[in-house]
Amino acid sequence: MIVAFACDHAGFPLREAVIDAIREAGHQVLDLGTDSLIPVDYPDMAEKAGKALQSGQAARAVVLCGSGVGACIAANKMRGVYAGLCHDTYSAHQGVEHDNMNMLCLGGRIIGVELAREIVKSFLKAEYSGEERHARRVEKIKKIENSQ
């Protein structure tokens, strides 16, 4: 699977650990930057990753900013992008299994390297269950999205 990766300057300190975790999980990385501590705006980075999902360039995405909140808000404005802010492994896999989450947002100033690695691996290992109750709820989300 191809996984888009993007971060702002606040997420940059976790960059290499997250990219390594994606590769260790057996996936390819579509690296969308940033590649330094020079300030960049998190909405721009979330949008790059979201566009990779929308175009089919990537099946999933991981985006980092300082808290993860801003990137998550920005990404969820994009049609077909279902981003979740997760700072634990349960939410990372459950968001995929129940909610069909396709973008993981992390806070580079909130969690450490090892936890970030575990969360990313949990997110990437998970698969959407498609169970009737989950599918019904995901369809309701899509209906809200399409009514705006």
Give residue 101's pLDDT: 98
Q: Is 36 left (phi over 0), alpha (psi -120 to 50) or beta?
A: beta
Cα end-to-end span (Å), the chain: 31
Check residue 117 and give its pLDDT.
98
d(C-alpha 77, C-alpha 81), whole Å: 8
The pLDDT of 82-96, averaged and rounded, is: 98
Please answer whether residues 119 and 111 qualify as being in contact, where contact means their C-beta atoms are separated by less than 8 angstroms. Answer: yes
Q: 56-66, pLDDT tens digit by residue?
A: 999 999 999 99
Distance CA 140, CA 125 (A): 25
Q: In the prediction, which pLDDT does 115 show?
A: 98
pLDDT at 148: 76
In angstroms, the CA 6 to CA 47 distance is 9
27-31, 70-74, 82-86, 141-145: which has the minimum mean pLDDT? 141-145
Predicted TM-score (pTM) of the model is 0.97
Catalytic residue (one of 9, 87, 93, 98): 98
Q: Which domains does the chain have, with CATH numbers?
A: 2-147 (3.40.1400.10)
Catalytic residue (one of 7, 9, 65, 72): 65
Which one, of 26, 97, 91, 19, lies nearest residue 61 by Cα?
A: 19
* pLDDT of 73 above 80: yes
What tokens were used for 26? 């057996």
98 is a catalytic site residue? yes
Residue 133: both structure tokens together: 């109750």
Rounded to whole angstroms, the Cα distance separating 31 from 12 reads: 12
Catalytic residue list contains 86: no
Portion of the chain with pLDDT greater than 90, in percent: 99
